Amino acid sequence: MQKLTNKEEEIMHILWKLKKAFVKDIMEEITDDKPHYNTLSTIVRNLEEKGYVGYNAYGKTHQYFPIVTIEDYRKTFMNTAIDNYFNSSYKNLVSYFAEEDKISADELREILALIEKKK
C-alpha cells in the first residue's frame, strides 16, 4: 500500500465518510485550505492510480468510492508507525502515551480488561 500525502489522506477520510462522492461533493466537505476544483480532481485521480479509490462513470462525470477500507489503512499506518517510531514494540507505544499524559490509569485498566477478556 503506497503512502498517502496529508491532502490525499484528508480526501480519503471524506470518501470513507461519504461512501460515494463526486468531486464537487468532496469539495463541499473540505473545511480548511480548499484546493481549486481541478487540483482536487487531480488528487482524486492520483488516489485512483494508487489503488485507493474506484469510480463509476456517468458520461464525463465520475463518482468515486473507496476501495481500501479505513480499517486496512489504519492497520498499515499503525504497523508502520509502531515499527518506525517504537522499535516494533506496543509496550513502547503505550509507555510513550503514558509518559506524555495521553492515556490515564483508568484507560489502561480498561485495555487490560479487554486483553484479559480475549484470553
User: Do 17 and 60 fall within a single domain?
Assistant: yes
**Does 62 map to a domain?**
yes
**Does 49 map to a domain?**
yes
Distance CA 106, CA 49 (A): 44
- Tally the domains of the chain: 2
**Does 58 map to a domain?**
yes
Distance CA 91, CA 55 (A): 41
SS3 content of the chain, % helix, strand, coil (to 5): 60, 10, 30
Instruction: Give residue 52's domain range.
Output: 6-66
Q: For 82-115, write each residue's pLDDT tens digit.
A: 999 999 998 999 899 889 888 888 999 998 899 9
pTM metric for this prediction: 0.79
Q: How far is CA 49 from CA 85, 118, 119, in A?
A: 29, 39, 42
Q: For 40-86, write each residue's pLDDT tens digit.
A: 999 999 999 999 999 999 999 999 999 999 999 999 888 888 999 99
| Mean predicted confidence (pLDDT) in 10-31 | 96
User: Do 10 and 51 fall within a single domain?
Assistant: yes
**Does 1 map to a domain?**
no
CATH code: domain of residue 32: 1.10.10.10
C-alpha gyration radius of the chain: 19
